[in-house]
Chain A
Amino acid sequence: MKKQRIVTLSTAILASALLLSACGNNTNDNGAGNPANAGQPAANNAAGDTANNGTAADPAAGASGVVTASDLSKLPDIAKKRTDTIIVGLTDPSGAFTPYFQQSGYDGNVSSLLYTPLVKVDDKGLPIPGLAEKWDVSADNLTYTYHLRKDLKFSDGTPLTADDVAFTWTILHDKSYDGDSLVNTLNIKGGDAYKAGTATSVSGIKVIDPQTISVTLDKPNASALTLLGSDVLSKAYYGKDYKQGQLDYMKKLSGSPLGTGPYKLEKFIPGQEVRMIANENYYDGKPKTEHFIYKTAQGDTWQYLETGEVDYASFSATKENIDKLKAMGFVNILPYTPSNYGYLQLNLKHPALQDKLVRQALTYGLDRQSIYVDAAQGAGQVANIPSSPISWSYTEDGINPYKYDAEKAKELLDQAGWKAGADGIREKDGQKLTIHYLGSKKPETDIFIAVAKEDYEALGIKFEPEVFADFNALVSKVEGGDYDMASFSTSLLTDPSDGLLQFVDGEIPGYEDPAFKALYDKGLATSNIDERKAVYKDIYKLLNDQLPVIFTSYKKSVYAYNGRIQNLSVSPFNGLAPSLPKWTLSQQ
């Protein structure tokens, strides 16, 4: 009896675990309600989900093809009744609203409205003033000086000074800091000593006067300007309990943010709503619409947009979705491309894949147009470089598009010494050419496997797909090294160097090219955009030829929003936050 009970219980647990892992992909599928950006510092775990999921999305441009509402009279009454409130669907904010100390990208969406960065970026990703009205970079590109605007205030009316900025940067170097901000990887002078506990302050951070702060790096890094130029935490509020090496108390403050954004938190109802109210102390003037609500929308967002419960949602840009949105009549449709890119990681530890010719053959021989554009009903675009078309660094000049060409692929494989064996599978030195592919369970993976299997088998490559129930399981298998090819997507990228990081930090084992490394450093050594553009062009050409990974696609999505909202625009990198203060509801 007892034994039986233990067995029953354990089987129940096992069964539920299996059921869960079987359902696991569902959580990755509901991204349609993630319209806003995770803010600069806060792409993270959930954004990891986001990144491997089609519709979830983050803002990005492509202002062409805006469709305006055809018939506003179809607007549901429930939406008409709201006169000073805008509601936007958001998959799942968890309630941790302190920037740098949050794990979910959805919380990042919320905090991007509660805080304003020192430096924003424009629609191309170029820096523009935020809380800092200007900045200087020293001639050696090592010292950055930020000049804050006058009379900045936190939402409770207390003044914001350079001390708050210094405090923010300092605690990110604490050894107990467990967030995913990259500020502590910038090599700020004295940062390591502070982390080790041998210094009581970070020597590279200098408060010059209440409006001016400078920071000195050990090594030039052009992405420092925007990375450091992020949200500011109040020292008086977040620092009163701080002792070096002890940041646990920050968790207690995560539900009661004190920020500088256009809105401040009114009330968080777990699993339901994040209610915000206009911040009268916002540096750019109090927002026009008094209330803003992020509504948790776990499942499909269609029904909320259709019934007027939300004013704004994002969807994958499939023809079907766009037609359906047009038929609603009362929504404006705004297309955009997110700032990340998708790729197939190749196991460069395997001899066959170490050969550039084989990697090129695998790219020529894969019909990416069919997989990522046609099968996705147009909600995608083929990628050939590690940068999104919306970035200032994007270029197609001199880039090989690797248009699908099976003959060319065969030629390259022959050239690389892989000859067809008795069973039609190519071999070399007694080894058969096989591709062990890993993907996580979702519709896109099924499409990929169907097309890739056919394409690769036609080339004489054995294709062995393996599908995982969830993303973590996939990554863990890839880290184990037992694979040849795996589908991934990057997190959202701001600086062009963000998309290249994986090629230098060891995430792609086996890729080491001194020429690339030198270019990478060169790209970060200057803040001059024209110089950087030239360097990134060289980098993209190099990677496009070497193909350490196979670049696959950019997603395409649309925002659909209630036609009553005026002055709405979405920044590709900062999401709703920049234009939100100006949104108004027209009365009719």
Chain B
Amino acid sequence: MSTYITKRILYMIVILFAASFLIFCLYALTPGDFITGNIKLTPERKAELREIYGLNKPVIERYAIWMKNAFHGDFGYSLSQQKPVLSLFNQYIWNSFLLAVVSTFLTWLIAVVVGVVAAYKQYSWFDTIVMVALFAAMSIPSFFIGLFLIKMLAVDWKWLPPGGMLTTGSNSTGLAYVREVIHHMMLPVMVMTLLGVGSLTRYFRSNMIDVIKQDYIRTARAKGLKERKVLFTHALRNALLPAITLVGFELPALFGGSLIIEKIFNWPGIGQLYMQSFSLRDYPLLMGFTLFIAILTVIGTLVSDILYHVADPRVRL
């Protein structure tokens, strides 16, 4: 086990190196740089600024400089925001995380419960209605459902705020603050859950259907165990196993932010920040964030492999 982990971590480092290089090249080779889009500058001044920012150096040299600084924990200053990249992350990531963690929790909860029930009552009217509803939810574009709900719940009925994270100008603290944030996050969480729950429910449903047909379930029933126990202890545990792989993938998603949702609901998350940085070619911020997500992805897969081992002793590492 420990040799396995050492080996995996070594691989991870190699992968991250390769990934960072690839990401750097990808950004550096995208047409246009941070200076290009500033229509106010004369060609002369553009050249001067490229010199100051080091954008006129060869890509390899720029990569080496970036890597060297990154090793010293210095991810640089965002060119457009004039702030250290890490402090920007700290300002925005937690807002994205808050939305993601709540909606992921709700998505999994609903998906497991509905999936299990639908599988147990396969082809019943409940199953049919759920499946139709899920397909409908999966096929609605997020911007449409987002704007539609804003129109209904915020503009017309005025139940929920149309966006943002706080009531503008609010000075609330403590519990009142928490209540305000919850009030504001209801709409985005609703939309995110709605969009995510479809595929996950279908996943659990099909896993569950496979498991229910196994011999050991028949055995468990034959022993005279209660149906509830058969379903939730024997069947569900086995049906959840393949889902461990998904847990690994959820990790980067928790911190990555959601471009469309954040934009529609004016949520101060990292997804928006990333999007703007891309159109401005704000390299330090782009590099820092993409690498951060790459690290989470690699860690996520490691975690899910280890969890596999913990959950299922048959899996050898």
- Asked if A269 lies at the interface with its beta carbon under 8 angstroms from chain B, I say yes
Q: Which residues of A contact B11 (CB under 8 A)?
A: 2
Could you tell me if A178 and B168 are in contact, using CB atoms closer than 8 angstroms? no
* Interchain CA distance A558-B255 in the complex, whole Å: 39
Q: In the complex, which of the residues B44, B49, B81, B154 contacts A303, with contact meaning CB atoms closer than 8 Å?
A: B154
Proximity bits, A296-325, B CB within 8 Å = 1, else 0: 111110011011011000000000000000
- Asked if B115 lies at the interface with its beta carbon under 8 angstroms from chain A, I say no
**Of B155-163, B212-220, B224-232, the one with at least 4 CB within 8 A of chain A:** B155-163
- Asked if A251 lies at the interface with its beta carbon under 8 angstroms from chain B, I say yes
* Interchain CA distance A44-B282 in the complex, whole Å: 14
Could you tell me if A476 and B82 are in contact, using CB atoms closer than 8 angstroms? no
Tell me the chain B residues, 15-39 only, with Cβ under 8 Å from chain A: 15, 18-19, 22-23, 26, 30-34, 36-39
- Asked if A534 lies at the interface with its beta carbon under 8 angstroms from chain B, I say no
- Asked if B128 lies at the interface with its beta carbon under 8 angstroms from chain A, I say no
Q: Which residues of B contact A297 (CB under 8 A)?
A: 266
- Asked if B273 lies at the interface with its beta carbon under 8 angstroms from chain A, I say yes
Q: Which residues of B contact A280 (CB under 8 A)?
A: none
- Asked if B263 lies at the interface with its beta carbon under 8 angstroms from chain A, I say yes
Distance (Å) between the CB of B195 and the closest chain A CB?
16
With A9-B15, A251-B77 as given contacts, are A26 and B31 in contact (CB-CB < 8 Å)? no
Q: Which residues of A contact B155 (CB under 8 A)?
A: 303, 306-307
Q: Which residues of A contact B122 (CB under 8 A)?
A: none
- Asked if A214 lies at the interface with its beta carbon under 8 angstroms from chain B, I say no
* Interchain CA distance A476-B32 in the complex, whole Å: 5
List the B residue with the shortest CB-CB distance to A490: B39
Could you tell me if A270 and B281 are in contact, using CB atoms closer than 8 angstroms? no
Q: In the complex, which of the residues A23, A101, A306, A474 contacts B82, with contact meaning CB atoms closer than 8 Å?
A: A101
* Interchain CA distance A76-B157 in the complex, whole Å: 12
Distance (Å) between the CB of B17 and the closest chain A CB?
11
With A9-B297, A20-B278, A271-B92 as given contacts, are A299 and B163 in contact (CB-CB < 8 Å)? yes
Could you tell me if B275 and A20 are in contact, using CB atoms closer than 8 angstroms? yes
Tell me the chain B residues, 250-272 only, with Cβ under 8 Å from chain A: 259, 262-269, 272
* Interchain CA distance A405-B230 in the complex, whole Å: 82
Tell me the chain A residues, 499-519 only, with Cβ under 8 Å from chain B: 501, 505-507
The size class of the interface chain A forms with chain B is 35 or more
Could you tell me if B15 and A295 are in contact, using CB atoms closer than 8 angstroms? no
With A104-B80, A254-B82 as given contacts, are A271 and B290 in contact (CB-CB < 8 Å)? no
Tell me the chain B residues, 21-70 only, with Cβ under 8 Å from chain A: 22-23, 26, 30-34, 36-45, 49, 52-53
Could you tell me if A21 and B92 are in contact, using CB atoms closer than 8 angstroms? no
Proximity bits, A64-82, B CB within 8 Å = 1, else 0: 0000000000001000001
Distance (Å) between the CB of A306 and the closest chain B CB?
5
- Asked if A367 lies at the interface with its beta carbon under 8 angstroms from chain B, I say no
Tell me the chain A residues, 63-119 only, with Cβ under 8 Å from chain B: 76, 82, 85, 87, 92, 94-96, 101-104
Could you tell me if B22 and A470 are in contact, using CB atoms closer than 8 angstroms? no
- Asked if A45 lies at the interface with its beta carbon under 8 angstroms from chain B, I say yes
Tell me the chain A residues, 30-48 only, with Cβ under 8 Å from chain B: 30, 43-48
Proximity bits, A270-287, B CB within 8 Å = 1, else 0: 111101000000000000
Q: Which residues of B contact A139 (CB under 8 A)?
A: none
Q: In the complex, which of the residues B44, B80, B165 contacts A103, with contact meaning CB atoms closer than 8 Å?
A: B80
Could you tell me if B30 and A296 are in contact, using CB atoms closer than 8 angstroms? no
Greatest chain B CB density within 10 A among A13, A48, A470, A472 is at A472
- Asked if A27 lies at the interface with its beta carbon under 8 angstroms from chain B, I say yes
Q: In the complex, which of the residues B23, B34, B273 contacts A271, with contact meaning CB atoms closer than 8 Å?
A: B273
Q: Which residues of A contact B43 (CB under 8 A)?
A: 505-507
* Interchain CA distance A202-B257 in the complex, whole Å: 48
* Interchain CA distance A489-B39 in the complex, whole Å: 9
Per the CB 8 Å criterion, the residue count for chain B at the interface is 72
Tell me the chain B residues, 154-207 only, with Cβ under 8 Å from chain A: 154-155, 158, 161-166, 168-169
Greatest chain B CB density within 10 A among A27, A47, A92, A474 is at A27
- Asked if A479 lies at the interface with its beta carbon under 8 angstroms from chain B, I say yes
* Interchain CA distance A293-B265 in the complex, whole Å: 19
With A23-B275, A27-B279, A297-B266 as given contacts, are A94 and B81 in contact (CB-CB < 8 Å)? yes
Proximity bits, A251-275, B CB within 8 Å = 1, else 0: 1001100000000000001111101
Could you tell me if A475 and B36 are in contact, using CB atoms closer than 8 angstroms? yes
Could you tell me if A14 and B91 are in contact, using CB atoms closer than 8 angstroms? no
With A48-B38, A270-B91, A491-B39 as given contacts, are A27 and B275 in contact (CB-CB < 8 Å)? yes
Distance (Å) between the CB of A442 and the closest chain B CB?
12
Distance (Å) between the CB of B312 and the closest chain A CB?
19
Greatest chain B CB density within 10 A among A26, A87, A297 is at A26
Distance (Å) between the CB of B153 and the closest chain A CB?
11
Distance (Å) between the CB of A513 and the closest chain B CB?
18
- Asked if B134 lies at the interface with its beta carbon under 8 angstroms from chain A, I say no
- Asked if A5 lies at the interface with its beta carbon under 8 angstroms from chain B, I say yes
Distance (Å) between the CB of A470 and the closest chain B CB?
5
Could you tell me if B169 and A87 are in contact, using CB atoms closer than 8 angstroms? yes
* Interchain CA distance A464-B163 in the complex, whole Å: 42
Greatest chain A CB density within 10 A among B77, B163, B275, B279 is at B279
Q: Which residues of A contact B91 (CB under 8 A)?
A: 270-271
Q: Which residues of A contact B53 (CB under 8 A)?
A: 178
Q: Which residues of B contact A30 (CB under 8 A)?
A: 263
Could you tell me if A272 and B169 are in contact, using CB atoms closer than 8 angstroms? no
With A85-B169, A475-B32, A505-B42 as given contacts, are A49 and B290 in contact (CB-CB < 8 Å)? no
With A45-B37, A296-B268, A303-B155 as given contacts, are A14 and B26 in contact (CB-CB < 8 Å)? yes
Q: Which residues of A contact B299 (CB under 8 A)?
A: none
Greatest chain A CB density within 10 A among B162, B274, B290 is at B162
Could you tell me if A92 and B276 are in contact, using CB atoms closer than 8 angstroms? yes
* Interchain CA distance A270-B88 in the complex, whole Å: 9
Q: Which residues of B contact A471 (CB under 8 A)?
A: 32, 37, 279
* Interchain CA distance A47-B280 in the complex, whole Å: 11
Distance (Å) between the CB of B40 and the closest chain A CB?
5
Q: Which residues of A contact B262 (CB under 8 A)?
A: 298
27 contacts between A and B (CB under 8 A): A9-B294, A10-B19, A12-B297, A20-B259, A20-B278, A23-B275, A26-B275, A27-B275, A46-B80, A92-B276, A178-B52, A269-B166, A271-B165, A271-B272, A271-B273, A273-B169, A293-B168, A303-B151, A303-B155, A304-B162, A307-B161, A309-B161, A468-B31, A473-B30, A476-B33, A501-B42, A505-B42
Chain A residues in the interface with B (C-beta under 8 A): 2, 5-6, 9-10, 12-14, 17, 20-21, 23-24, 26-28, 30, 43-49, 51, 76, 82, 85, 87, 92, 94-96, 101-104, 176, 178, 180, 182, 185, 251, 254-255, 269-273, 275, 291, 293, 295-300, 303-304, 306-307, 309-310, 468, 470-477, 479, 488-491, 501, 505-507
- 9 pairs of A and B residues whose beta carbons are closest in the complex: A271-B268, A472-B32, A476-B32, A96-B82, A303-B162, A476-B31, A473-B31, A94-B81, A505-B42
Given A475-B37, A489-B39, 10 more pairs with CB closer than 8 A: A13-B290, A17-B26, A17-B30, A21-B278, A47-B40, A103-B81, A180-B38, A298-B272, A307-B161, A309-B162
